[in-house]
Amino acid sequence: MTDCPTVDELLMAHAVGRLPEPLALVVGTHLALCPRARSRYSRFLALGGLLLERAEPAPLAADAFARLLERLDQEEQPAPACQRPVAWACAAPGLPRPLRDYLPGPLEAQRWRCYGSAAELELRLPTPGYRTTLVRVRAGRQVPRHTHEGHELTLVLAGGFSDKTGHYRRGDLAIADGTIDHRPTADADEDCLCLAVTDAPLRLTGMLGRLLNPFLRL
């Protein structure tokens, strides 16, 4: 397993178009929800544009940079993270793009897999090697304790959660790997909704988690 990337490293990779689609979806949605991330991303874009111009001073590179900056200025519509076309009439007004473009309709109308106090909805992205899900956890409840065989990116879309690494609210992006064994707990006052991407299975580390193995068999 490679080193766990930082949020800045993900932003830089996104700025130069190097992220696979599931990670681009997470980072693009993070940008839509987090003004601080947008500010840092704009700097990385500028740096990437300069590098592109040095390497290949073609009109296409300059035009692409200008278009990206223009999109950054639009609230809730950062740089285009998704290569997949919008296939459905969007009906999830509480969620920003690019995530909204991946949903077939209202969240409540989807076929969620329920596991006690948690539920998940898998988003079928074509990129092999990744699993992309929306995860809901009821207020004050926990997901099974686990660690990770690869990387886990968790973006809070509503509510919040806490684990040993901190407290995460709407727009925050948590990154975990095999060095982290945790049991995220949703905030007590609101159900937590997250977008999660993993590139390898989770590994359960608690007795309750083993009982709920199907929920975390990624």
**Should residue 120 be labelled a site residue for Zn ion when binding is judged by CB under 5 A?**
no
Q: Which of 187, 82, 81, 97 is nearest to 142 (CA)?
A: 187
**Should residue 176 be labelled a site residue for Zn ion when binding is judged by CB under 5 A?**
yes
Q: Considering just the CA atoms, what is the radius of gyration of the chain in Å?
A: 18
> How far apart are CB 40 and Zn ion at their closest, in Å?
24
Q: In angstroms, how far is the first alpha carbon of the chain from the final one?
A: 16
Which residues have CB under 8 Å from 24's CB, separation 6+? Answer: 14, 81, 82, 83, 98
Size (the chain), residues: 218
**Should residue 143 be labelled a site residue for Zn ion when binding is judged by CB under 5 A?**
no
Residue whose CB is less far from Zn ion, 97 or 148: 148
Among 21, 120, 152, 172, binds Zn ion (CB under 5 A): 152
> How far apart are CB 167 and Zn ion at their closest, in Å?
15
> How far apart are CB 182 and Zn ion at their closest, in Å?
6
**Should residue 173 be labelled a site residue for Zn ion when binding is judged by CB under 5 A?**
no
Taking CB under 5 A as the binding criterion, the range among 55-63, 69-77, 128-136, 172-180 that sits at the site for Zn ion is: 172-180
**Should residue 199 be labelled a site residue for Zn ion when binding is judged by CB under 5 A?**
no
Nearest 5 degrees, angle CA 60-CA 62-CA 63?
A: 65
Contact, 186 vs 159, CB < 8 A?
Answer: yes
**Should residue 163 be labelled a site residue for Zn ion when binding is judged by CB under 5 A?**
no
Return residues touching Zn ion (CB under 5 A): 152, 176
